[in-house]
Amino acid sequence: MRSDAIKKGAERAPHRSLFRATGLKDEDFKKPFIGIANSYNNIAPGHVHLNKIAEAVKAEIIKVGGVPLEFGVIGVCDGIAMGHEGMKYSLGSRELIADSVETMAKAHAFDALVLIPNCDKIIPGMLMGACRLDLPTIVISGGPMLVGKSDKGEALDYSLVYEAVGKFANGAINAKELHDIECKACPGPGSCSGMFTANSMNCLCETLGIALPGNGTIPAVYPERLDLARQAGRQILELVKKDIKIRDILQKEAFDNALAVDMALGCSTNSALHLPAIAYEAGLEITLHRINEVSEKVAHLCNLAPAGPDHLEDLNRAGGITAVMNELAKKNILTGNLLTVTGKTVAENYKDHPVQDYKVIAPIDKPHHAKGGLAALFGNIARDGSIVKQSAVAPEMMEHSGPARVFDSEEDAYEAITGGKIKKGDVVVIRYEGPKGGPGMREMLQPTASIAGMGLDKDVALITDGRFSGATRGAAIGHISPEAMAGGEIALIKEGDIIEINIPKKTLNVLVSTEELEKRRKAWHQPDPNIKTGYMARYAKLVTSANLGAVLQ
């Protein structure tokens, strides 16, 4: 066992002595040491219950002959970090998490890992660290939140609170109505209830084969969630016995499967950051061009919030991710013979799980959209690409031209939007918010939700070198690469320039001549960094472009 390095032989008596102080006995030193990476905290609703998940996992590991060794992992709540300086730290926390998992596993010679994340950057961060280690690994998330309900019985979720702020600013609702929405949108623990970033990544963990069926969709408060945790605790010992490591599962075809399910579900645009980053740590590559290739051939089957009315509990009731995969398999879209943590193949996992409700998971021959949820756009202000959740764009905004309204920070743009300074037809440009420029590539849910709340989501587009929450809807195009801080052409746009967006043709351009852009480039000067000390200052020096997954090099 790998853990023999810290527990076997006379020379390891000091190590065993320290472990004895934690409660280990003689018989424990003959068993596999299983690292439990737990992002429990009492800050984020997605994490407040993960201690219960961990206890279920640990109890089962002990029962089947392993030694669980739990350690904590930080977990930023993107919702609470949204709209202020805290959001600069969210994406950067992904790398800290990866480093923490790698460090703890190496320092303590774990034989395997159980990863217990639930939100946004924590999931990919843990996976990135695990890929570096290449140990037997399984993911068991905390599960999604149940949907909230208004007094009228209407579904509420976290993103609708932001839209309500826009409605309040526009005079469409009063303070009491806003307060009622605030109080009822998030009814309990779990990752926010729509197909936002956390749920996107938890669902894609199933598709990749590194989580058990149900991981992405079983609600946090259902007893089946704890059953799944116990099953994960048992299964990690099977992976140890068979020495099935994470890179044995995360093959190139597994990522293609994940992209296909991503397109069918209409996942968050953040998956276009995280899947390439995980692949990078696994020694593979996912490009924005590959995302377009998959999107062209995979239909959009699920009309999930924020694009539609359904939520994760609806998807779970309709059969979950295995049902989506079963439907996709009818067109031979998936590679079915790949290994998964169940010990079965991908195809064996989904074959007996047909769709239970075709209102939630559309038939493959009658999809919501013929093409997938995401699209990468290229052009003279996005030479290396950009990303849009096309399934959440109104039909009338799939092609749009309008004057640029240019802002060098999210705060300035938000003030203009809520102040009524953005008009129908405008294209809001928010720059210097990329991985280097932010630094940290802030999510722009506040301005995009305000545009929707102001009733402008079918008339106004927004482009940025920052990124969006999975809760964003509308013609919101992010990840523009190269970013402004790196001298990308988005830095050269001037107020009033005409921006031309054509999502069907995958293009994004400013209607300015090459000669004029070069003239502007010669006059451009890189601004001073927004953060000059601490972790994010170091992060800004090492982080790569969004089209590469914003990994550190």
**SS3 label, residue 242:** helix
Tokens representing residue 315 in the block: 């998807």
Tokens representing residue 38 in the block: 């737990």
- As a whole number of angstroms, the distance between CA 290 and CA 284 comes to 13
Task: Choose the catalytic residue: 141, 200, 450, 469.
Answer: 469
**SS3 label, residue 403:** strand
DSSP 526: P
CA dist 492 → 20, 42, 402 (Å): 62, 44, 17
121 marked as binding residue: yes
Radius of gyration of the chain (CA): 23
Q: Do the Cβ atoms of 528 and 438 come closer than 8 Å?
A: no
- As a whole number of angstroms, the distance between CA 269 and CA 469 comes to 8
- As a whole number of angstroms, the distance between CA 544 and CA 80 comes to 26
Q: Give the contacts of 206 (CB within 8 A, at least 6 positions apart).
A: 212, 213, 214, 215, 216, 320, 321, 322
Tokens representing residue 182 in the block: 């605030």
**Is 469 tagged catalytic?**
yes
The neighbouring-strand residues paired with 363 are none
Q: Do the Cβ atoms of 442 and 411 come closer than 8 Å?
A: no
Helix (H) or strand (E) holding 498: strand 498-502
Hey, which bits of 504-544 come out as E strands? 507-510
154 marked as binding residue: no
DSSP 546: G
Q: Do the Cβ atoms of 414 and 446 come closer than 8 Å?
A: yes
For 68-88, the DSSP string reads EEEEE-----HHHHTTSGGGG
- Known binding-site residues for Mg(2+) equal 78, 120-121, 443
Binding site, residues? Answer: 78, 120-121, 443
> Active-site positions?
469
